[in-house]
Amino acid sequence: MVNSSVALSSVFVAPSGNCDLPQSCGSLGLCSVQGNSSSCVCPPNFASSTQSSGCSPVTGNIFSANSSCNGTDDPNISYSYVGNGITYFANKFRSAVTIGKNRSNCEILCTNNCTCNGYFYDTSSQSCFLLQQPLGSLINANSTESAHSLGYIKIKNSNIGTQTNSSSSPKLLPILLPSIAAFLAMLIVCGFGFVWWRRGQKKIRNKSSLTKNMIHGPPSRPISDSDCLFSDNDDDISEILLPGLPTRFNFEELEEVTSNFRTKIGSGGFGSVYKGELADRSLVAVKKIEGVGLQGRKEFCTEIAVIGNIHHVNLVRLRGYCAQGSHRLLVYEYMNRGSLDRSLFRPTGPLLEWSDRMHIAVGAARGLAYLHSGCQPKILHCDVKPENILLDDEGKTTQVKIADFGLAKLLTPEQSGLFTTMRGTRGYLAPEWLTNTPISDRTDVYSFGMVLLELIHGRKNRSERVTDADSNISSTSTESTCTKSEYFPLIALEKHEGKNYADLADPRLEGRVDVSELERMVKTALCCLHEDPGLRPNMTSVVAMLEGTMEVWEPRTEALGFLRVYGRGFGGNAMEIDGMTSRIGGSRATTTTNSGWPSYMSSNQLSGPR
């Protein structure tokens, strides 16, 4: 059901799962995600503790923080291994104490530190993180990023209670065993009851407050710096409320990584992108957000919130961020070929062959399908276009990744759509953006359909064509040619009706096209462009149709009639188009077309070409 009462201006804050809370399972309890819920267990060599509401060593040893410490090596100190692939909440947003050292060095640092309660060591990056009181829960992340994480808890042997009366033990054992068993059973029942009650309370709070504010934003107050979790005061940066954050860098580190921002590889609406190299020799792309205003802060927070918590082979990986003073930077994995538009639309240089275009189409579709059906809550990208599809060919095959989540929105399972302010890029906007109807995952599907058509044609959907001048047009010019604008989606519809799919392929390919794949892609693209969102396929079906594992839908021409309205404005010259645009919104224009769109609406106003 659509929640239409919220304000159009919204704030995006990251979703938080149960396991992302510091005390989700008590001290040193191991939290594991199971679908939409989570479970708590104790790690190896640990058992439930009646004192800490968490887990403690089964050997009866006590933590070093509860013992005397002289700051030197203590033979009574040992470390209990908690397992591989287990992370700790605080490690997600604070820097490692050392990088590039072995695990023994990390253990020595903890042993000689009286306030250290344990350490986590990443065998991949050779990073060392120390733990301090109060100790929170552990997270069984089950991701590739945490697969190399080793955790050790520092304990100290206790001599308390080791002297016992051996002669009285056999007599006391039959008396104590039933009492102990009854107490443990009662403790387990109470523990399960408490976990069930706490989980129910969290669900109630999430539905009534957290989800509403995270997705729609507070409806009655303006956005402030605190809404974006970071202020210009560097002292406030440590008060981070966002769970699951990637590595936090300081500005000086990123200056060194990018050689003082020497190599610029691109620019966007809110800043420039520079090439850099981390200490582990991996290349990164550092986005420096310039002139941070309200919208820039919102996009910065949204970007971290969305891709900081999701991982997929077709989604760009966020390696880290910087929020120091007035500096706002995002650190991504480096994609050496840049965005798709550079390879697809360039007039010279290597040409994207047809097999490459099919591979790119399937890869981008898989990334969007994961956002729509593999994430909870569902993520709407809201700005699908070639500029936000990145390519890398350093491996055996070209990698395709969706990027730029600054305009993304969340859609909970209870919602079929949501209202929000218009966002995206002209030429890829679905009709529902302009008709005061809710957006949904099918809004991204429409934008992807436009991208498919550009992959087929190798040009922007709106392009200029030089033709012979009309002899009936009086002109004092000696020019014998004129420039006309073409709207490729309309051409694709007309060629589909005539079954002339080969005419739609990029002429630069000179016939090097699989006609059956071409027909499949054209039909899939037109289905994505259906005016009614309910008639468009979901991205999972789009992937299957492009791969050929599912029969391609037949486009409904009656649901594509609005393309003729758009195309009608691009058959004339530029002066005619400008004239039509200037009449938009006139009080005299009241007629409508068969598609239901007002006849005076130009393609520039309704998802028209860029």
Catalytic residues: 383
CA distance linking residue 339 with residue 232, whole number of Å: 32
Q: Residue written as tokens 């210009």? A: 232
Task: Look at the alpha carbons of 212, 216, 222, 227 in this order and tell me if their dihedral is positive or negative.
Answer: positive
DSSP string, 343-391: HHH-SSS----HHHHHHHHHHHHHHHHIIIIISSSEEE-S--SGGGEEE
Is the separation of the CB atoms in 223 and 11 below 8 Å? yes
Q: Residue written as tokens 């790119």? A: 360
DSSP H helix total and E strand total for the chain:
13, 25
Query: CA gyration radius for the chain?
Result: 30
Q: Could you tell me which residues are beta bridge partners of residue 39? A: 32
Report long-range pairs for 127-134 (Cβ below 8 Å, ≥24 apart): 127/96, 127/98, 127/99, 128/96, 128/97, 128/98, 128/99, 128/101, 128/103, 129/88, 129/90, 129/91, 129/94, 129/96, 129/97, 130/97, 131/88, 131/90, 133/65, 134/27
Residue 605 is given by DSSP the state T
Say whether 212 counts as a known binding-site residue.
Answer: no
CA distance linking residue 382 with residue 371, whole number of Å: 11
Q: Residue written as tokens 């509401």? A: 53
CA distance linking residue 46 with residue 57, whole number of Å: 4
β-pairing verdict for 318-324 and 247-248? parallel
Q: Which residues, 6 or more positions from 207, have their beta carbon under 8 angstroms from its beta carbon?
A: none
Is the separation of the CB atoms in 598 and 590 below 8 Å? yes
121, amino acid identity: Y
**Can you read off the two tokens belonging to residue 179?**
């009492």
Output the known binding site: 288
Output the known binding site for ATP: 288
